[in-house]
Amino acid sequence: MKTPFKLDAHPRRPHPPLSSPPAGYFDQLSLRVMARLPHADVPEPAAGWRWLALLSPALRTGLASVAVLGGFAVSFFLSGPQPTSPAVASAAYLDAVSHTELIGYLLTSGARVETSDLAVLTDADPCIAKEFLAATDAELTEALDAQPSEDHMYL
């Protein structure tokens, strides 16, 4: 079995006394180390961009911000015309459908058109109903009387 190692049991070797460093050694140490490092060749800026190096960093940052925001504004305005509003586009699509197809769609049992749907159309174009709602007073009275009414106040 090995005996355990104890550092205190081994005597230390005597060290020679250290001499003090020369005067100003630590003051010049960083300069000496930096002088030994290899220097990268810094390319000279182009002749047209030298004025930019003369500006303060805050002014260069502000100039870059203005350039980015200006580019965004120009691209926004040059991106093309604004899309047409949905009411104008839907009216144009509705005009493209023939009247026979439109009436056939409205008369099918699956289509549930309410008066509020028609009210939106008449608000957009008040003269839209003149083409397909040519009814006499007698027909209108008959249609209104055929409507179920639970409230007798409206009769």
- For the stretch 17-52, pLDDT in tens is 678 888 999 999 999 999 998 887 777 767 777 888
**CA–CA gap between residue 90 and residue 118 (Å, rounded):** 14
Q: Which of 128, 135, 130 is nearest to 94 (CA)?
A: 128
C-beta separation of 45 from 53 below 8 A: yes
Q: pTM score > 0.75 for this model? A: no
Instruction: Answer positive or negative: Cα dihedral of 148, 149, 152, 155.
Output: negative
Give, for all 155 residues of the chain, the pLDDT tens digit: 788 888 888 888 777 767 888 899 999 999 999 999 888 777 776 777 788 888 899 999 999 999 999 999 999 888 877 665 666 667 778 788 888 887 787 777 666 767 777 777 777 777 776 666 677 788 878 888 887 777 666 55
The amino acid at residue 21 is: P
